[in-house]
Structure 1
Amino acid sequence: MKILDEVLIKNTISMEEAIDVLRENYRQYNSSNDSNPTRTIVRVQEKHATFGVMPYYSHSHNLFMVKIVSHHLLNKAHGRTSISGVIVIQDGATGQIKAQMDAAAITALRTGATAGLATDLLAMAHSKKVAVIGAGAQAMAVFEAVLSVRKINQVAVCSTSRASTERFIADAKNRFLREIEYISHHSARQAVSGADIICTATTCAAPLFSACDVVKGAHINAVGKHTLVSREFPLELLHRAILLVEDRKAAIEEAGDYHQNSTSIVDMLNSQYAAHQGETTIFSSVGTAFQDACICIAILKKLKLVSEV
């Protein structure tokens, strides 16, 4: 059994590769090729904790997978990561465990890569300014993905505290060696003002900004807290925006009926998506086991633990 921690995962596959993997897999997506049952989620409100189990079976590679992950909102106050868990991958023919992967690393990578794909499909080609709301691993991954598909020269950052915002900016400067102006903001509304691309990766239960704060033609990647009673963007924005989701059924069940008129990534990929790049667009993410599987299998292929189909 191969054990892959965060470092090994990052050294095996880049964000650019992960975006390409998802693009190709979504383009070839056929629901009959995989078993992707509804995930089980347990929310413990008084502990500010969520526990999820996401099973998946890949027919083409004959692999069983399960992601076991928890999110503890209060961990950050104690210097611990908020997302913890493992992904276990078994040989479908023998049951042999082929690999165990760090769930937090895979979650950040696939979340970022999917947002990067959505950005490449829908954000204006000449986008220059990005607003990042949030300062955790998910926010950094989405920011990295945006940098992979657009030539950004200005970033406005806002988080829950000045200290976390400054840490994010310092980490980004060390990680991405390019000419980018970083600006720290105290409010999300200030940060999104004039932004071509807005990335939200927070645990806020209410919208972070108003519809009037978003310029026409902006693209939003909303990858944080989206449940039946919470969301990061205002519903008023939907009256003039195209809503993109990973899977319409999952988005409706987990995040609300306002996703009824959304477009899936599969459908968008098979359309003239470039025609929408001057319109206001929103990628509303809830995450799927399919995304995890795409990234995990790509990693296993690079490590020659599974063969090409």
Structure 2
Amino acid sequence: MDIDILGIDLAKRVFQLHGADRRGHLLYSSKVMRTELLSVVRKLSPHIIAMEACSSAHHWGRCFQEMGIEVRLISPQYVSPFVKTNKNDANDAAAIVEAASRPTMRFVPVKSVEQQDMRAVHRVRELLLHQRTALINQVRGLLGERGVIIAQTPAAFKRALPEILAKCEGEMTRTCQAILTELLEQMRVLEERIARTNKWISAFMKSSALCQKIAAIDGVGPITATAMVAAVGEAKEFKNGRHLSAWLGLVPRQYSSGGKSRLQGISKRGDTYLRTLLIHGARTVLRYAIGKADSRSRWLQELIARRGHNRAAVALANKNARVIQALLSNSDSYRPPIVAC
């Protein structure tokens, strides 16, 4: 049985397999338990394995690549149009094979263990930041009910709270002080954990040549650099820089018909976290672009005057994304803009 492409509908315990030849004819269809998957695949020995790019796909992809099998991961949104009639595991596996057989299909590269480590640190850091924000908002709400107002930033919160805790008069009772002290201790623990994740990111930054290369770009720091490398690696699956910026949702959304081109706001497709980091980094660059004479600063100053601060930040983020793709996909180093005399 010469299986050219084997589609696997991934799950926690029971996997659905669908094997086909070069013409797409069904050769094998079966359900396999998790503990038996590797042995069954080794016995079938397909030329290509196709899976949806879900949470465990990269783990299985690495296992199959070690067997010498080509692995194709497909975004689930590209598989769903090929599901015939009702949705079930068998139809899903058949749809994966059909989608992977298309000559114009786009595939997701299999991530390495190091990339997933970077990704995990960023996810934990993002979770801790959300928890810190929720805690600050809770304290601000409790104090607001007692007529005490604190600014929204974490720095202002940490400056104001000790002074508030020192007061024990009026509506600031000892019970309220005890509650606030408990929440302040919880915030201290969160701050320590956030600092620990920052150290991990710094360690990844020092050990990765790709991260160091793209961190030379203005507006791209250690957090953005490690997040980008964790997500796209060497970015060779993107044809050019515009494809990466489109994947990040930094290009205009198009709604064109009848030869009339209509461009709307940015599409906001792809990874929201990466897009947010690039735009926030661009905003930092805009703050220091005023008064500088290099070509990019002049371009940004003119763009801010013509289109506004927000559009200028997105435009710079788009440009940085294109530069990142160029740097990751070849051996060139970043050349900063030349300052005009």
How does the TM-score come out when normalised to structure 2? 0.20
Greater share of helix: 2
Structure whose CA Rg is larger: 2
Structure with greater strand share of residues: 1
- Of structures 1 and 2, the one scoring higher in RCO (CA 8 A, sep 6+) is 1
